[in-house]
Every structure is written in structure tokens, then in C-alpha cells.
Structure 1
């Protein structure tokens, strides 16, 4: 009888450990799911590209996929102008090559978004390949940048309904843009300034780049920031834009 009781006690301790572990796992999953901002509508997941609002809030976003020379001057320009909110969508393969730069974005308090691993258009890939690329990039960015992204901007901004569904299942919101600075064309500092100031309206998401292909963005930013502030704009995070106002989504054909 004592032998049976010893065996049952061991089993009970094992069951208790399993239940406690399951409880904490379930709690972690719940918290993880509820800290992610997935932009969905009655029609299902959509890509966020601007907030429909009269409040003069806007979001600055930067794509990073290549090189090591242009990011730091852009980060410095934002800090010197007192901009505390901006989102950097970084390629995970880039972050592997320059982990100290990825970490610097996080240390300076800016948000890190997922920009994929391989810089290939998702809308041309099989769904399994897209899912694997997103999973891989999430793991790398979480480890290197000490921040688990909740936002995804597919490489080249290319996506379709299948990509939206894949991102949604992984707890990610796809973020597009409504104003293109066209800084990647290197048209000159003044042209970049006018591209932004002439187009921006309340609720806009503005696209910049911080790869080495852009040569004039860091020089244009101070004038852009001053010009936007003179017009009464403030800089918000993407999450604030998504939750603080009625939002518009990108149409997917």
C-alpha cells in the first residue's frame, strides 16, 4: 500500500509541475498575443497606410536593408531635432551583418519593424516560403535587436491577400505608407523636402530609407521636421496611429 502511495505521489508531483508549466505557457501566449497590434477590419486583415483623422499626427518610417554608413547620421538627425517616435523596418539579413547598428536603433528608443530576411517580393513567392522568411526574420530581429517586432513591411512593399493572412496568423500588422519622400532617387535635398512637405496631411505614414543607397536623407530631415512642426504636426508611433483614430487600409487586388 505504501509503495502504491509513493508512486501516486510522484505522479501527482509530475502532474502538478506539468499543470503549472502549462498555466504559465498559456499566460505567456495570452500576453504575447495581446501585446501585438494586428490591424484587422470586418473584411479581415488589411495593410495600414494612414489614419483618417483631423488631428495633425504623422508617423516617420525608414526602410533599412543595405550598408552601414547612412543609418547613424539619420539617427543623429532625429535625436538632434528631438524626434522621439519613428519606426525602422530593418531586413534581418542586414541586422545579422550589422548587429551593433540594429541594437543602436533600439537603444535610442525607436521602434523596430520587420522588413523580411531575403529581400525578395513576397507576392511572387509560395505561401510556405513567405511564412518561413517571416519566422526567420522575427527570430533574428528579436535576438539581435532585443525587441520582438509587431509590425511588418514586406520587401519593396509588395504583398497580396495571402501575405496579409500569413502576417496576421503570426501576430503582425503589415504597414505601408501614404507619402513617399522618394529619397532613394537622390533627387537633391530640396526635392526630398518638398516631396514630403507638399504632400503630408494629418494621419499620414511617411516613407524614408536609411540604407547606403540614400545620400541626402539625413541632410533633408532637419528641414522636413522643422517644416512639419511649423505646420502644427507632431510625430507619433505607428501603434498610436493605428489605435488612436479611424484608419484606412491599402487595397489589395
Structure 2
């Protein structure tokens, strides 16, 4: 009797191990994946809409000419990600962005990779830039593009817990490399897809964007695209997100 009982206990243990190894990790992996915070690169839509986005963290020579181009081209929807120090140093330009009706997002305070620092530092930096932007423009930011686009799952989780949606890009103009006006234009207009988030810069480091931007706008319109803010893009279609 004891030997039968012992055999049954061994068999039961073997079954539990087998099912535990076969099922447990898959369920945990699915749960982890479902709950993993994500950054947004584009939205899935058949409508020909794109979001033009501009990061600004330095200088006052390029931002206003970029705004002038948008006005001349009658582009009423765009999203600007502003750093805290730049906003405080150039409040008149930041206010102009707001007054022209463009969306404003957060681009952090110090231009350093968030993944190299603890959550406490990230929260402090984002709070500082949020305060600066609000002080100058009255905008309480909810979208953030991290400096250098740097993040990892921990950073995303921290920012999500602060109430922020992390915005990346699907098409990178590489305008900050100043590769030539036509290279910038070609890169954007050939890569753009419906629901795209397009990365450009209105910092002084982007020396060719002012000349490239009118061509980008005209060619995208000729392809049938309309321009919306990032928030409008997110509200109108399914989100494509990823952790890279």
C-alpha cells in the first residue's frame, strides 16, 4: 500500500513539473509582454495623415524661420517637443509656438540619456522641464520625447507612471546631421507612410531644415497627405508601438 501511495505521489509530482514547465513560463511571458510599457512610433491607419514633429533644445536662429515656413505653407498642425532650459531662455519663441496653435510636448531638462540614470533623477528632470514649459506657455505637457530618443523598459515605466506618453518616430529626417537639403527632403518624402510620426529639429544644430521644410510639405501634400498633431494622430487610429 505504501509503495502504491509512493508511486502515486511521484507520478503526481512528475505531472506538476511537466505542466508547470510547459504552461507556466508561456503564461508569464504573455502577461509580461501585455503589461510592458511601450513607446509610440506611428499609428495604423489607411488615412493619409502624418504628424510633423520638431525637437528644440538649443538656439534661437532656426526656430522662428521654421515657424515662418509653417505659416507660409499654411500648416496649422504640428507638434514641438521643447526642453526646459530652452523654453526658459527663449520664452518669446515658446509662447509664439503656443499662440500659433501648435501642440507642445516635453523634451526633458538636461539633454542626457535617461537610461543612464535612476528613476528619481528622471522624475526630477521631467518635473523641471514640465514646470518650465508650464510657466512660460501655460501648457501642462502629457507627451514626451526623451533626449536622444533614449529609453528602456524601466524608463518607459517611470514616464508612464508620471502620466506621460512616450513618443518616438517612424521616419527620421536626420536633419541634425546636415546631410544636404535634398537628402533631407528625399529621406522624409520617400519613407513617410500613413499614420507616420516624422522627426525633425528646429534647433540651431539643424542648419538645413528651413530650406528643406517647404519642399517636404509640398511633396507630402502632392502625395495626398494631411498634417495633424501627435495627439490627433493617437486619437484617430490604432497605435503601433515598440520597445527597441
- Does residue 186 in structure 1 map to residue 185 in structure 2? no
Superposed CA deviations along residues 76-110 of structure 1, whole A, max 9, x for unmatched, are 00111011111110110111111111111101111
SS of 2:191 mapped into structure 1: coil
Contact 1:102 1:144 in 2 (8 A): yes
* Structure 2 residues not aligned, in runs of 5+: 1-32
Superposed CA RMSD: 1.2
Superposed CA deviations along residues 33-66 of structure 1, whole A, max 9, x for unmatched, are xxxxxxxx94243111100111111000001011
Point out the structure with max Rg over C-alpha: 2
Tell me what 1:23 maps to. Answer: none
- Does residue 171 in structure 1 map to residue 152 in structure 2? no
- 1:61 corresponds, among 49, 53, 63, to 53
Tell me what 1:116 maps to. Answer: 108
Shift of 1:214: 1.0
Tell me what 1:153 maps to. Answer: 145
- 1:237 corresponds, among 207, 229, 234, to 229
Runs of 4+ in 1 over 6 A off after TM superposition: none
Shift of 1:234: 0.5
Given the two structures, how large is their TM-score scaled by the length of structure 1? 0.81
SS of 1:45 mapped into structure 2: coil
SS of 2:169 mapped into structure 1: coil
* Structure 1 residues not aligned, in runs of 5+: 1-40
- Does residue 139 in structure 1 map to residue 93 in structure 2? no
Tell me what 2:197 maps to. Answer: 205
- Does residue 52 in structure 1 map to residue 32 in structure 2? no
Distance in 1, matches of 2:56 and 2:215, equals 22
